[in-house]
Amino acid sequence: MIGAPAVAAARLTVYSVAVTATTRIDLPTSAALGAAVAVVTCLRNHGFSAYFVGGCVRDALLGLTPKDYDIATSARPRQVCAVFADVVQVGISFGVVRVRQPCDSGEVVEIEVATFRADGRYSDGRRPDSVRFADAQQDVLRRDFTINGLLLDPCGPAKGEIHDWVGGLADLRDRQLRAIGDPLKRFGEDALRLLRAPRFAARFGLQVHADTAAAIRRLAPTLAQVSVERITAELTAMVIAPTAPAALDLLVDLNLCTQLWPQLLAADPHLTAAKLRLVRARTELERPIARNHWPVSTALTLPLVLALLADDLRNWPDSAEFTRSWRLSRQDLAAVRQLIALVATCPLEPTPLERAPLLPPWPAPVARWLRQPLADAALIAVISRPGGHRWLQWRQARADWPHENAFPDLGFDGLTVQRWGYAPGPAFARALRAAEDVRLSGGSGEQAEAAARSVLQAAARAS
């Protein structure tokens, strides 16, 4: 039997589950917990049974604060809708609704309430053809891994008690990730579970049980049945987490990487170089940047991770193919492309260190590169390459660089240039750019104006 480590000690003992003489655990107090307990109490007051289930129970056992609470109940979806005033009907045919419950703070939290169910046949490797409402035990047996198949009683006389029909408590204690029931059957039902396995194993430092691992390796090709959207959601959670290097190891070890990123494996067979870049990028992000005039990333964002992973494909036509294998938002896709381009054109990289000026004014091409919004992320990617630590100080130097120096006020614009007697034309933009180059590289306002006038005069002479 397992009890959670004291919450205060959770940070130190996060992945070790203490063995105690009781199946009861205390949940860390939070507004979301209060709201979820209120939902269970209300369902029970109406004569239904209801428990916490899945990730929240697992997290609490690991001494982590659950990010949300899912509830499983004997009440049918229509009955849940009748009990609560504010319900969002997200997947009523699968027995799932979301109850919008106010917390003590007045904030409203959405709590997923799912009717106990058993899944019918899976004929497409994605979702059951039908579901049938069932009891609590059948409900946990349809779930993916034993660590996700635990129920917890959150209130009443059995408060804190765990119901374990799948051996999840022992697996958590032994740090095993194991499919519930026959692994070949479970992965055959929904191939997305193949990817959920490395995600949970990496996140909680678990060993994938031998039978479960063998089934994943065997069924890895069936990942092709899963939609790019679902794959992207799982992979995103994996690669932006601090445990991404462990997840990449598992993706390689479980043969999943050959299905997902054949082009990356061809360039870096065990993803060793990619992992190193991820580790260095995270270390770099955690380095404090003082006196900052520019927003600096504090988390590994998906575009940065993809640029770090695709780095070995820089000169390959496959880098576009790699990017396309993810279903990215338009914004993320633009950011990945821009980052890959920025890294490829980084003006610092080919420069011998002694000739790269650390402090502004920088040569105009360096300044133009550094003032782009994604330059900080691009610098992190450059720094994460072998030998890239030489450029560490440029992140701080960019952070110290005031915006008004990065976007200097020229003191004149197109209208002024017309007043100088020049007709509008393509030379205007070139003249303003020449003036800005002068200001960026440390020249005075007069020198900038002279540079603009000389471009305009040359253009006027040529026409």
Interface with ligand ATP (CB under 6 A), residue from 71, 192, 194, 427: 192
Least distance CB 54 / ligand ATP (angstroms): 3
Neighbours of 206 (CB within 10 A): 21
Interface with ligand ATP (CB under 6 A), residue from 54, 198, 303, 408: 54
Least distance CB 176 / ligand ATP (angstroms): 16
Q: Judged by CB, which is closer to ligand ATP: 144, or 449?
A: 144
Least distance CB 300 / Mg ion (angstroms): 21
Q: Which stretch binds ligand ATP (CB under 6 A): 1-9, 157-165, 189-197, 327-335?
A: 189-197
Q: Which stretch binds ligand ATP (CB under 6 A): 32-40, 84-92, 140-148, 251-259?
A: 140-148
Q: Judged by CB, which is closer to ligand ATP: 144, or 436?
A: 144
Interface with Mg ion (CB under 5 A), residue from 32, 40, 52, 55: 55
Q: Judged by CB, which is closer to ligand ATP: 66, or 443?
A: 66
Q: Does 360 bind Mg ion (CB under 5 A)?
A: no
Q: Does 190 bind ligand ATP (CB under 6 A)?
A: yes
Q: Does 117 bind ligand ATP (CB under 6 A)?
A: no
Using CA atoms of 39, 44, 47, 53 in order, give the dihedral in degrees to the nearest 10: 80
Choose from ligand ATP, Mg ion, none: what does 192 bind? Cβ within 5-8 Å by kind. Answer: ligand ATP
Q: Does 66 bind Mg ion (CB under 5 A)?
A: no
Choose from Mg ion, ligand ATP, none: what does 360 bind? Cβ within 5-8 Å by kind. Answer: none
Which residues lie near ligand ATP (CB under 6 A)?
A: 54-55, 70, 143-144, 148, 190, 192-193
Which residues lie near Mg ion (CB under 5 A)?
A: 55
